Amino acid sequence: MKMKILLTAIALTAAFWIMSHSDWFTNHSDAKAVQPSALMATPVKAETTQSNAAKSPQRIDHIVIVVEENHSSKKISGNSSAPFMNYLMKNGVSLMNHYAIEHPSQPNYLDLFSGSNQGVNNDLTPKKMNANNLALELMKHGYTFGGYSEGLPKTGFTGPYDLKTLYARKHNPWVNFTNLPASINMPLTSFAQNFNQLPTVSFVIPNLNHDMHDGTIREADRWLQAHLSAYARWAPQHNSLLIVTWDEDDLSSKNKIPTVIIGPQLKNGPYNGKSNHFSVLRMIEQLYGLELLGKSRTAPPLNIWTTGS
């Protein structure tokens, strides 16, 4: 009986000591162990916080984003008129459930660039904007941005169209923002052939004949191969990404579009998670530690990386 009482006393003493030193266990336990307090905590949605984002590499040196026009996934995937685009899809991460946000074109470019359509729901020249955006965030954090539009008559041009070169302002979102320097609004001829000299993030906008808006799929595919195949080969070996996406599909209600990402440290192959323009913006923001803009805060993250944190 005395032994039973002694054992009970020892057990109670040990339990009291553990409870009084619980902070020590929390702070000194193996990081891989699941803490009971974590199981009891109020759950936080992963898409609303940067700390709970999909893992990504520590650093990507350059990103080039090409935006094509008005074609659904089923119109491009497996199409013999688009051999280069399909080559990219087979050799990179192909987003199988990727969606544009709305119709028509211009709001989608603004969504991708700033996390919001900024109140624009048509292709007319909008009012000037002063909202936060990807280029501004990059520059605030010491990075660089360049927008390269085929047919842009000169750096800083703000006109709606150039009928001779088939440039269209509605496909150029950065031109609308008064908080950005005119120098980032450049013709495609300024795109550096020494890719190490490119800005941190670049957008490449083909003209209306080469983005499938007015021209054919075959014309757009040949243009993309002629202008970006060298970069597509270079990027995976130089810690950089190529993203080829579409603004919207062919006006369907689903608005499902093809998108492919080429680069290092990627889980190449089909990616079946649901995603959209805001997901791509979110990925870029998180790669460089930028503020999550607008609806990118709640966008599905892209779990496409083999390494990272």
Give the model confidence (pLDDT) of 209-246 as tens digits. 999 999 999 999 999 999 999 999 999 999 999 999 99
Query: What local confidence, expressed as pLDDT, does residue 46 receive?
Result: 30
pLDDT confidence bin for 92, thresholds 50/70/90: very high
pLDDT confidence bin for 53, thresholds 50/70/90: low
pLDDT confidence bin for 19, thresholds 50/70/90: very low
Query: What local confidence, expressed as pLDDT, does residue 14 receive?
Result: 41
How far is Cα 132 from Cα 275, in angstroms, rounded to an integer? Answer: 22
Q: Which domains does the chain have, with CATH numbers?
A: 2-41 (no CATH), 52-298 (3.40.720.10)
pLDDT at residue 48 is higher than 50: no
pLDDT at residue 40 is higher than 60: no
What average pLDDT does this structure show over 86-103? 98
Among residues 282, 259, 286, 285, the alpha carbon closest in space to that of 272 is found at: 259
pLDDT at residue 106 is higher than 80: yes
Whole-model pTM?
0.83
CB 212, CB 220: distance < 8 Å? yes
Helices (H) and strands (E) in the chain, counts: 9, 10
Average pLDDT taken over every residue of the chain: 87
Q: Degrees (nearest 5) of the Cα angle 211, 213, 216? A: 75
Q: Give, in order, the Cα–Cα distances in Å from 237 to each of 57, 84, 194, 277.
A: 15, 19, 14, 26
284: tokens are: 């870029």
Region of 265 (left: φ > 0; alpha: ψ -120 to 50; beta: rest) is left
- Helix, strand, coil % over all residues of the chain, rounded to 5: 40, 15, 45
How far is Cα 48 from Cα 293, in angstroms, rounded to an integer? Answer: 11
What average pLDDT does this structure show over 158-184? 98
What is the separation of C-alpha 185 from the centre of its chain, rounded to a whole number of angstroms? 20
How far is Cα 28 from Cα 57, in angstroms, rounded to an integer? Answer: 27
